[in-house]
Amino acid sequence: MIFGEMKRNDEPIDYYYYMIWFYRAIFVTGYFVLMFVYWVYTFPSYSVGYFGPLGTTIPQVLALIFVPMNAYLYYMMYSVNPGIITKENNEEALKKFQYDYILYRPRYCDICKIKCPARSHHCKSCNVCVLKFDHHCVLTHRCVGINNNRYLLLFCVNLVLISFFGTIFLTMVLMGLAAKKGYPPSFYYSKTTGLNFIKLRHVFFGLYTTHMMEWLLYITLAFVVPIAALFTLYQFVMHAYGLTSFEVFHRSKLSGMIKEKKIYFVIPPPETGHHKFVKYFDPEEDKKNDREPDPTDEYERVLITSIDQLPHQYSLSVYENFKTILFPDTLEPTTY
């Protein structure tokens, strides 16, 4: 490994860890400076009149609600133990979910020295096994798992709302500034011809020289709003089906391998006492790589022809799926 070995959270850190911290510090600082400039500096600097009948009360109230909430949710995403499995809580973790023998079956993690529960995965970045592993978040450099997934979802919702309302308010501000420069809405819009994009572009880029801060904030929101909205929508759809990002990714891989006719049910003989499981098998590839014989090679195989043959057993009703996200059966300890 170029940057040295990653350590567990309670062990000495390395240069790669410092680099991650550096990039994360840049992101967090930039993000909250934007929030401060946007909600604390920009809007209060404009008197009543820019927001029409809204006045300045609603923007100020929303700023008092959304900005602290956004900071709190980010802190919780970072500080809450995602569901790290240790020798001490291994038995408790094993009781949370049943193995589906599709993505998860009994195995042992040689790094963490634990029995791997269903819906767990070893994160190479954190070097720990996490229960109900979703993904490793690059914004916090923490895993998202059973304990902190709700904070990610709520953070995304909060970010969409704060960006959406911010866009509306900033549009009002820019329209007011343009009107003061002699470009009222009637200059670029009429009921008969609609919106004149050439005139609107002239007005918009004309504000760059006189009100650069507001202009740059608006451009930033133009990127943030759709990205945040799409990611939040993805989160909602995924949770509605009771899936994690890890499971979505690997089930999509299974779909591809099913089309290639390389995924089989492996059925052990009854006397072994083993459960039927899913396995990738490619005879041509095995011949090229001169693979070592596996005891399961002699077991009966049944070709899987459709992803429908691999049901997602962890999905409940939509209500129950969201309930397990917002009110999870947490794995102790919930702190680092």
pLDDT tens profile 31-43: 666 666 666 666 6
How far is the CA of 180 from the CAs of 174, 184, 185, in angstroms?
10, 8, 11
If one counts every other C-beta atom within 10 angstroms of the C-beta of residue 235, the result is 19
Nearest to 244 by CA among 113, 78, 130: 130
pLDDT at residue number 1:
27
Q: Which two tokens stand for residue 203?
A: 């007005």
Q: Using pLDDT thresholds of 50, 70 and 90, give the confidence band for residue 253.
A: very high
Is residue 106 pLDDT above 70, yes or no? yes
Q: How far apart are CA 76 and CA 290, in angstroms?
A: 49
| Contact by Cβ (8 Å): 239, 167 | no
pLDDT at residue number 70:
86
Q: Using pLDDT thresholds of 50, 70 and 90, give the confidence band for residue 105.
A: very high
Q: Using pLDDT thresholds of 50, 70 and 90, give the confidence band for residue 12.
A: very low
pLDDT at residue number 303:
93
When mean pLDDT is compared across 141-150, 281-290, 299-308, the lowest value belongs to: 281-290
Q: How far apart are CA 80 and CA 336, in angstroms?
A: 7
Q: What does pLDDT average to over the chain?
A: 83
Q: Where do the DSSP E strands lie in the chain?
A: 108-109, 114-115, 120-123, 128-131, 135-137, 142-144, 189-190, 194-195, 263-267, 277-280, 300-303
Q: What is the pTM of this model?
A: 0.82
Q: How far apart are CA 278 and CA 244, in angstroms?
A: 19
Q: Between residues 148 and 166, which one has the greater pLDDT?
A: 148
pLDDT at residue number 43:
62
Q: Which two tokens stand for residue 12?
A: 């000495």
Mean pLDDT of 64-71: 83
pLDDT at residue number 333:
86
How far is the CA of 22 from the CAs of 25, 135, 329, in angstroms?
5, 21, 34
pLDDT at residue number 305:
94
Judged by DSSP in three states, 121 sits in strand
Q: How far apart are CA 201 and CA 113, in angstroms?
A: 62
List for the chain the helix, strand, coil content (%; round to 5): 55, 10, 35
Domain extents in the chain:
16-242, 245-326
Mean pLDDT of 74-98: 95
Long-range contacts of 268-273 (CB under 8 A, 24+ apart): 268/296, 268/299, 269/299
pLDDT tens profile 154-188: 999 998 988 888 888 788 888 888 888 888 888 88
Percent of the chain with pLDDT over 70: 80
Is residue 255 pLDDT above 60, yes or no? yes
Q: How far apart are CA 55 and CA 82, in angstroms?
A: 42
Is residue 44 pLDDT above 50, yes or no? yes
Largest Cα–Cα separation, the chain: 87
| Contact by Cβ (8 Å): 248, 119 | no
Angle, alpha carbons 15-85-275 (nearest 5°) = 125
Q: How far apart are CA 57 and CA 127, in angstroms?
A: 48
Q: How far apart are CA 95 and CA 118, in angstroms?
A: 9
